[in-house]
Amino acid sequence: MPGEAEILGESLPFEERIELPNWAYRRVDIEDYRASHASSVRDAAGQWERLAKELFWQRPWDKVVSEGDHPHVSKWFEGGALNLSQLALDRHVDGDRRNKLALIWEGEAIGKDGAPSEVRKFTYYDLWREVNRFAFLLKNNFGMKKGDKMAVYLPMVPEAFVVLLAAARLGVTFTVVFSGFSAEALSSRINDLGAKLLVTADGLNRRGKQVSLKDIADKALEQTRTVSQVIVVRRIDSKDTSMKAGRDYWFDDLMRGVPASARVEPEPIESEHPLYVLYTSGTTGKPKGMIHDSGGYAVLLHATMKWVFDIKDSDVYWCPADIGWVTGHSYVVFGPLIEGATAVIYEGTLDFPQPDRWWQVIERYGVSVFYTTPTATRMQMRFGEDFVRKHDRSSLRIIHSVGEPINPSAWRWLFEVVGEKRCPVGSTWWMTETGGIMVSHLPGLMLLPMKPGTNGLPIPGIDADVVDDKGEPVKHGEKGLLVIKNKWPGMPGAPTGMWGDPERYAKQYFERFASRGYFYCGDYAVKDNDGYIWVAGRADEVLKVAGHRIGTFELESSIVSHKAASEAAVVAIPDPIKGEVPIAFVVLRQGFAPSEELRKEIRLWVRSNFSPIAEPSQVYFVNKLPKTRSGKIMRRLVKAVAEGKPLGDIATLEDEASVDEVKQAYESLTVS
Q: Which residues of this protein are in contact with ligand WT7, per CB under 6 A?
A: 280, 325-327, 402-405, 427-432, 455, 521-523, 535, 538, 544, 549
Looking at the Cβ atoms of 106 and 404, the one nearer to ligand WT7 is 404
Looking at the Cβ atoms of 380 and 432, the one nearer to ligand WT7 is 432
Looking at the Cβ atoms of 545 and 665, the one nearer to ligand WT7 is 545
| Angle of the 183-193 helix axis to the 213-222 helix axis, nearest 10 | 50
DSSP for 620-669 reads: EEES---BBTTS-B-HHHHHHHHHT------TTBS-THHHHHHHHHHHHH
- Residue closest to 508 by CA, chosen among 423, 432, 424: 432
| Min separation Cβ 485 and ligand WT7, Å | 17
Looking at the Cβ atoms of 174 and 325, the one nearer to ligand WT7 is 325
| Min separation Cβ 107 and ligand WT7, Å | 25
| Min separation Cβ 277 and ligand WT7, Å | 14
Looking at the Cβ atoms of 97 and 548, the one nearer to ligand WT7 is 548
| Contact partners, residue 187, CB within 8 Å, separation at least 6 | 219, 220, 221, 222, 223, 224
| Contact partners, residue 407, CB within 8 Å, separation at least 6 | 7, 8, 9, 10, 374, 378, 453
Looking at the Cβ atoms of 539 and 602, the one nearer to ligand WT7 is 539
Looking at the Cβ atoms of 311 and 535, the one nearer to ligand WT7 is 535
Looking at the Cβ atoms of 535 and 602, the one nearer to ligand WT7 is 535
| Contact partners, residue 569, CB within 8 Å, separation at least 6 | 556, 584, 585, 625, 626, 633, 635, 638
Contact 364/356 with Cβ under 8 angstroms? no
What is the 8-class DSSP label of residue 411? H
What is the 8-class DSSP label of residue 513? T
What is the 8-class DSSP label of residue 325? S
Let me know the angle formed at the C-alpha of 203 by 558 and 150, rounded to the nearest 5 degrees. 70
| Min separation Cβ 411 and ligand WT7, Å | 11
| Min separation Cβ 572 and ligand WT7, Å | 12
In the chain, % helix, strand, coil (3-state, to 5) comes to 30, 25, 45
| Min separation Cβ 376 and ligand WT7, Å | 13
- Residue closest to 136 by CA, chosen among 261, 246, 274, 276: 261
List 318's β-bridge partners, or say none: 344, 370
CA distances from 561 to 40, 179, 262, 378, 597 (A): 50, 22, 48, 34, 17
What secondary structure, in 3-state letters, does 235-281 show?
CCCCCCCCCCCCCEEEHHHHHHCCCCCCCCCCCCEECCCCCEEEEEC
Looking at the Cβ atoms of 182 and 407, the one nearer to ligand WT7 is 407
Let me know the angle formed at the C-alpha of 432 by 128 and 102, rounded to the nearest 5 degrees. 20
Looking at the Cβ atoms of 487 and 538, the one nearer to ligand WT7 is 538
| Min separation Cβ 25 and ligand WT7, Å | 20
Looking at the Cβ atoms of 97 and 441, the one nearer to ligand WT7 is 441
| Min separation Cβ 235 and ligand WT7, Å | 25
CA distance 582 to 542: 10
Q: Give me the torsion for CA of 222, 557, 429, 172, rounded to 10°.
A: 20
| Min separation Cβ 361 and ligand WT7, Å | 21
| Min separation Cβ 440 and ligand WT7, Å | 8
Looking at the Cβ atoms of 129 and 441, the one nearer to ligand WT7 is 441
Dihedral sign, Cα of residue 50, residue 56, residue 62, residue 68: negative
Contact 174/318 with Cβ under 8 angstroms? no
- Provide the 10 A C-beta neighbour count for residue 206: 17
| Min separation Cβ 326 and ligand WT7, Å | 5
| Min separation Cβ 200 and ligand WT7, Å | 22
| Min separation Cβ 322 and ligand WT7, Å | 11
CA distance 340 to 104: 13
Looking at the Cβ atoms of 440 and 658, the one nearer to ligand WT7 is 440
| Min separation Cβ 410 and ligand WT7, Å | 11
CA distances from 350 to 321, 355, 447, 550 (A): 11, 7, 30, 22
What secondary structure, in 3-state letters, does 159-213 show?
HHHHHHHHHHHHCCEEEECCCCCCHHHHHHHHHHHCCCEEEEECEEEECCEEEEH
Where do the H-state alpha helices sit in 335-423? Answer: 335-338, 357-365, 374-383, 385-389, 408-413
Looking at the Cβ atoms of 521 and 586, the one nearer to ligand WT7 is 521
| Min separation Cβ 228 and ligand WT7, Å | 31
Looking at the Cβ atoms of 116 and 537, the one nearer to ligand WT7 is 537
